[in-house]
Chain A
Amino acid sequence: MASTIAQLSAVPLSVQSVGKSYGKLNVLDDVSLGVEAGELVCLLGPSGCGKTTLLRIIAGLEKQDAGRLILGIKDISRAHPQERDYGILFQSYALFPNLTIAQNIGYGLSTRNLLHTQIRERVEEMLELVGLKALAGKYPGQLSGGQQQRVGLARALAPSPSLLLLDEPMSALDAKVREHLRHELRALQRKLGITTVMVTHDQDEAMVMADRIAVMNQGRIEQFDTPENIYRSPTTPFVANFIGHANWLEYQSLSDGQAHLGSLTLQLDKAPIGGPGRLFCRPEALRVDHQAQQSNSVPARVIEKLFLGNRYRLTVELEQLRGQHLVAEISADLNAVQLNGDRVWLTFPPHCLRAFPGGGQ
């Protein structure tokens, strides 16, 4: 399949039951992932979860012990990195310091059967694409971090690969630049429609940029879904904890859609049957009022109140469950200000409560 510079067709990537271990350490355990054509998928997880290893296996820089990789219609499981059709942007960008920006971008074109003029045209196109035309003759050391990142991206995209891999692309940048470049990178990826896999440990980054997020933990994919679903309906306690803030309440048993927590009973929308387990709820899903609501309202005492600008973060203690602290986030408008140190009613909207059976983490 001779994909060409002019015609770029998006292809899907399929990771099938990939396993990898270093000695006794299981780094990846039966990982499967389907990336659709033109989609941006984020591999998100804490350090050591295997996300970087997975990316390196896709890139062919690391060999998997088991499993297959299919890019488009081609099985690349055993292919040498040079036989795989991808471009990669490294964490450090790995620009060649002794070559100019133009030479860096044209580097991957030099071994293809292209005329000099064709290479020059392509480099011009790429420079224009990333808006660095004026810097063509400069060296990487003379550029800012953000500019270097764009050069790295242009270099990876110049040979028109079918797959773009991004390895923590923002981690070397200041917070401010980072915010801006997220949107830029995402816009560029959308414009090109190139299938993309990105590794990050920054959940905000993943939320903003990804079509779908694969949350990884200890060599497994815990959940693979859209950012909204990952946030609202985490399928495992790990995902619930890792993304955003989480409140946890231990319950002794579940019956008739109700969770029993000591003397407390809370109504759930969807509830498995059985006991014991933990209830999960996002801080902003909790309602804080002066009066009890129709259901699931519990008296509580405000212990701490943090002002975060647009909202307050309250730490509250349930009166019926002493020692049980919960975090609630409420809008910082005027009626909320009056909650000072008072007794409040905490309401758990049933659709926001999720039960995770089992005692452990």
Chain B
Amino acid sequence: MTSMRFPQSPRMQPQPKTNSSIAARLDLLFTSGVKLVMVIFLAVGLALPLIAMLSKVTDVQNGIAGVWQMLSSSRFLWLLSNSIKVSLSTVAIVIPAAYIFAYALQRSWIPGKTLLRSISLLPLMAPSMLSAIALIYLFGNQGLLKSWFPDGIYGFSGIVLGQAFYNFPMALMILISALGLADARLYDASVSMGANHWKTFLNVTWPSTRYAVFAASCLVFTQTVTNFGIPVVIGGDYQVLAMEAYKSVVGQQKFSEGALIGSILLVPALVSFAVDAWMRGLRGGQVSSQAAAYVAPANPVRDSILLLAAGTVALALLSLVVVAVGASLINFWPYDLSLSLRHYDFENSGDIGWLAYRNSLLLASMTAVIGTPVIFTCAYLMEKTRSGWLDNLLRLLCMLPMAVPGLVMGLGYVFFFNHPDNPLNGMYGGIALMIVCCMMRFLTPAQMTATTALRQLNEEIEYASLSLKVPLISTYRRVTLPICLPALLEVFRYLFVSSMTSVSALIFLYSPDTVLAAVAVLNLDDAGNIGAAAALSSLILLTSALVSLALYVLTHGLLRHTQHWRTGHA
């Protein structure tokens, strides 16, 4: 009945197919094997240190009574209220500014958006202390504009301004993506019902972005409350909890006290993490798949106001960077304003500058080179394959870094890896442990970038690979990775820059040989060598910016080069 005229090539001899169960076994090894390794890696690099820190709290003298005594001491309450005041004030400054800035970028026709956006990213390219150093140059005892702060910049106002500078880009990124999601149909409906701009904003824009505002506020609060770099540099006598935790461990060897404060600092992080997770659930399906992209109508008045506001913010951000970089190039601020590279001659300032810089380059490169494939592959397997309970465990562990501030992670590493009974004790003080620490610290955001890119791929690609009896790892290499190369480069950039600028966890992990640039900034400043601190900060900034720029150029070249097959596909 059915004819058998399948096209044949006469020369082709019967060929046995490859043993397809080899492919199946290879897949199992790739999926479950890598996941298992990741679980162990996360357990050792994250969960166990965290447990070590929490259990250290029990070492407090007199047990619970001792803990209570410490918590109810007037000094602790003073630190706590300072921390909260600083964090709330930072939120109050950053969020409105970031919202307006994001609004200007996403909902207007102002010129120079690329420039504004680039400037807004600058704070992320340098260690957090850069802003504090710049503030001291501007408003400090020898500052040009000292008169602006008659009570002195050291203390509350300095910390808040520094934190605002440092946290601005993080809040901005959340708000930009929230304002990027808009359903034009709602705006059309609002306008057709005669609502004016303000009313439309209140009824359409605000409801769709208020979750992001809350999430950004939580993030800024958590970041501020756990950051100690800025208060150490500019805090003066005004002390906060994060600083106290750092000093009790590093300076005074009061480990249990440090652990207790670390545990307390975990609370806002956990709360904001939980709130964020809850809101993600609420937000699901808010913008439907039929949503039409919203393009703001032209409005010269609105655009002028927004340009002025965004320009002012950008100018403020830029001026701090310029002051820090500029001051590092000046011979002797403010008495001899001639240009000089004196501060970059680190040999004279304790011989740590260039060593630290080299170490930082090594750390950042290694974290990016190792972390990118590891994190991307982990994200891929979690997104595209199923392994039962292993998935749930891994998912939980992968979210954990978001909820653990760097300071807390650093303390955990001290208690866990520096413990004499730990067989991994030998890693303590080495660059390898710092690489592990950085990969853990920056895992979640990097993984989210990867996951976002992976979700844009056709979900049947893996099934197609299965049906064609090709091992998954081949398809991952031949299809998935080439398509996701731009996201891969973004993960690389993020890991590099974050590792280059990070202080909070790493400051607990270095030894004299492995001192890092960002750590050295803090130490140089502590030693009163603010010029060298500014110089080293500027060097870190320059390195991060150049690497980001190079990767940006690379990504765009790549996209142009692969245009022929990217058309029509994400």
**Residues of chain A at the chain B interface (Cβ within 8 Å):** 2-8, 10, 38, 59-61, 80-83, 86-88, 90-92, 94-99, 107-108, 110-114, 118, 121-122, 125, 128-129, 139-142, 155-156, 159-160, 165, 190-193
Contacts and interface: CB of A to CB of B under 8 A. Distances in A.
B12 interface: yes
A105 to B, nearest CB: 10
B468 A159 contact: yes
Nearest to A88: B467
A90 B464 contact: yes
Interface string B16-42: 111011011001000000000000000
A113 B567 contact: no
A86 B17 CA distance: 13
Given A88-B467, A90-B463, A80 B21 contact: yes
B468 to A, nearest CB: 3
Given A82-B23, A99-B479, A141-B569, A7 B469 contact: no
A87 B463 CA distance: 11
Nearest to B460: A94
Give the secondary structure class of B's interface. Answer: loop
B7 interface: yes
B487 to A, nearest CB: 14
Given A94-B461, A129-B7, A139 B20 contact: no
B282 interface: no
B4 A193 contact: yes
Contacts of A191: 3, 5-6
B14 interface: yes
A310 B483 CA distance: 51
B186 to A, nearest CB: 29
Contacts of A111: 18, 23, 469-471, 474
B335 interface: no
Chain A to chain B: the 7 pairs with minimum beta-carbon distance, closest first: A108-B468, A193-B2, A141-B568, A94-B460, A4-B14, A139-B565, A80-B24
A114 B2 contact: no
A125 B6 CA distance: 10
Contacts of A38: 1-2
Contacts of A121: 9, 11-12
Contact of A159 (B27, B458, B469, B566): B469
A42 to B, nearest CB: 17
B21 A83 contact: yes
B27 A82 contact: yes
A98 B15 contact: no
A185 to B, nearest CB: 15
A254 B461 CA distance: 56
B72 interface: no
Contacts of A2: 14, 16-17
A140 B4 contact: no
Nearest to B9: A121
A118 B12 CA distance: 7
A90 B15 contact: no
7 contacts: A4-B14, A6-B8, A8-B6, A83-B24, A99-B479, A108-B467, A190-B2
Contacts of A192: 6
A96 B470 contact: no
B171 to A, nearest CB: 35
Given A82-B21, A90-B463, A98-B562, A110 B569 contact: no
A110 B468 CA distance: 10
A153 B13 CA distance: 24
A114 B12 CA distance: 10
A13 B536 CA distance: 71
Contact of B2 (A10, A83, A128, A140): A10
A139 B482 CA distance: 14
Interface in B433-472: 458, 460-461, 463-464, 466-471
B483 A97 contact: yes
Given A94-B460, A94-B461, A122 B9 contact: yes
B470 to A, nearest CB: 5
Contacts of B21: 80, 82-83
B478 interface: yes
A96 B479 contact: yes
Contact of B12 (A6, A88, A159): A6
